[in-house]
Structure formats: C-alpha cells, structure tokens
A = this chain, B = another copy of it.
Amino acid sequence: MKKLINPFFRWENGTFITIDQTRLPFYESILKLYYPDEYFDAIKKLKVRGAPAIGIVAAYGVLSTVYRYKKFTKAKTESLKTIELLKTARPTAVNIFNILEELKKLIENFDSNDYNHFKDSIENFCKKRLEYEVYTCEKISIYGSELIKNGMNILTHCNTGMLATPGIGTALGIIFKAFIMGKRFHLFIPETRPLLQGSRLTVYEAEKLKLPYTLVTDNMRGFLFSKNMIDITFVGADRIALNGDTANKIGTYESAILSYVHKKPFFVVAPTTTFDKKLSSGKGIKVEERKTDEIISILNKRISIAKNTFNPAFDITPSKYITGIITEKGIIKPKSECIKKILK
C-alpha cells in the first residue's frame, strides 16, 4: 500500500518551512518562518491553518526564538514572550493554546541554566509533538476508513488534509487512507466561503492524489442531500467541549443539520488534543469574527459594495447532531462519559 508523506511542514535549523496557503493553488510559495512576528502573521492571516497544524507551527515559533538567543536567560524570557504573542493569533482552535500552555510550563519549570540543554528540551518537545500529530492522523485514518464503503458519496468541509495537519490529515486523512487502501467512492467538496479552503486547498490535495471529487458551492449541499447524493459526512474540529459540542469552520453546522434531517451519519474527526478539558459545553466557545474584506472580496477581487457584513469564522454543532467523534483512541459517541473516558 502506498504510504502518504506530508510534504508541507518541516523544521530546518532554526527556521520552520511550510507553504503559504493563502496563495494556493495558483502559487506554491514557500514560507520560511523565523521571527515571532512572522509566525504570528502566518497564523493570523491563515498562511498556515488547520487546528493541528497551527498548534505545531506555534510550538516551533517558540523554538525559533530559543534558537535565536544563544544565552539561557534571554532565550527563556524571549520564548515566554513569543508564547504570549502567539496565543493571541487566533482565538477558536484549542490546540494552539494547549501546546503553548504546555511549553510555558516546561519553560517556567526548567531546572537548569544550561542553554544547550534548554534548547534540546524544547526541540525534543516540538519534535515529539509533531511526530505525535503524524501518529494520531494515522491512527484516526485507520479507525475512520472502516466507515467508508465502496460506492459511497462522501461530504467533507473546509480543508482537513495534509495542509491542515503535519500528518495525512483528520477528516481528509480518513478519506485519503480509504482511497490508498483501494476503496472506490466519490468526494463532494464544498468551496467553503469566505476563504475557499475547499475549492483552493482540498481540491488541490484531491488533484495531487487523483482522488475522484466534485466541487460545489456551499449552498448546494442541501440539493445533494435532497437528491440522496450524500451517504456520510466527515468534518474536522477546532475545539470540542466535554459534552461533544464542536466548533469547526463556518458552515459545518449546516452539514450536520442536513445530515440529521436526511438521516445520514455525520462524523467529527479530531485528535484528542482538540478537546477542551475546561469546557463543559459549546456555549463557552469564543467564535472568532474576521474582517469585512473576506466577505466583500474574493482573492483580492472586490465582489460587493456592501458596507455591513458579519463574518464569524466558525460555528458550533451541538453534540446531538453528531453521530460519532473519530479520535486516535477510537470512535466514540459524543457524550460526556465517553469523552471523559478517552481523555483520562
């Protein structure tokens, strides 16, 4: 069986190397991140995106800072500053907070003054976490691909593949895995306005793999369901509360509602790092509101004269509309007792 290797995330001696996702698919523009502001800008402007990916990239942002200052005390204070900066880049995904919090603890409690030892510890942390993301994607894809049968029509949302994680992806990872296992099915990709992660990024990945797909606009999902053209839906997650309520890219909730009304399964796919242990329900999730530009223009082309827009980047799907959550520890029901069990 062909093995998929993620080509988009790489650490090279002080610098994190990735691809500028805002320029895809027309330009494959390499992004080299070194200064904290560059990391902040890349995450804020969605040059790097996807909940698992931005967590990892943020961690390496801290490591870049450690690399830059060759003395322990300076490296420590500056890396703590980088942590505080990067925490403010995007508010909704939990992974970036969690990983930065862990790093903060590691740095604050570091019990030596040796710079090299310090640097190696942070580097080791980052490397392990990146490897763990690759591992969780693989495990998730093994569990999830069981659900895909030959001949199925599958719906996804946004982009959750090798551009969204350092591994093979979450929701798309499952689909990729099933595909390289030889299963034959069809993928429907909603374009995912405003930033078109579906039509720009998911189509880009599907084309590279020669995976059969059809691109539609977001408002065609209802039509597809009404014509019985969707059998199962897989979406990613940016933050999952302890009761299973899930924040994910705007429009996800609509796919959940359509699945519910048409009696089709709807799966959330995420590593356990996406759960927010402090959050009992989705009501507490802060939804990022982004700028007007994204609504009245597309890839810098102005499309509307509207002065008043609203641009929530995520929505919250209540757990009652979720068939199951696919994690690296197995597929679970979106219920508090099941979630608490796997988080132990």
Contact = CB atoms under 8 A, between A and B. Distances in A.
Interface of A: 25-26, 189-194, 196, 199-200, 203-204, 207, 212-223, 226, 250-251, 253-254, 257-258, 260-261, 287, 295-296, 298-299, 301-312, 315-316
A220 B303 CA distance: 18
Contacts of A221: 254
Interface centre among A192, A221, A299 (most CB of B within 10 A): A221
Q: List 8 tightest A-B contacts by C-beta distance, closest first.
A: A219-B251, A222-B254, A199-B304, A218-B219, A193-B217, A215-B306, A222-B253, A223-B315
Contact of A316 (B218, B226, B260): B226
Contacts of A304: 25, 191, 196, 199-200, 203, 215
Contacts of A302: 26
Contacts of A213: 306, 308
Contacts of A219: 190, 192-193, 218-219, 250-251, 254
Contact of A214 (B190, B257, B308): B308
Nearest to A196: B303
A219 B311 CA distance: 10
Contacts of A212: 308
A223 B306 contact: no
A109 to B, nearest CB: 40
Contacts of A258: 254, 257
Contacts of A199: 295-296, 303-304, 306
Contacts of A215: 295-296, 304, 306, 308-310
B250 A261 contact: no
Contacts of A296: 199, 215
Contacts of A299: 301, 303
A305 B216 contact: no
A26 B309 CA distance: 18
Given A193-B219, A220-B250, 19 more contacts: A26-B302, A191-B295, A191-B303, A193-B193, A200-B303, A203-B306, A214-B310, A215-B309, A216-B309, A217-B218, A217-B250, A219-B254, A220-B311, A222-B251, A223-B253, A223-B287, A223-B315, A226-B316, A301-B301
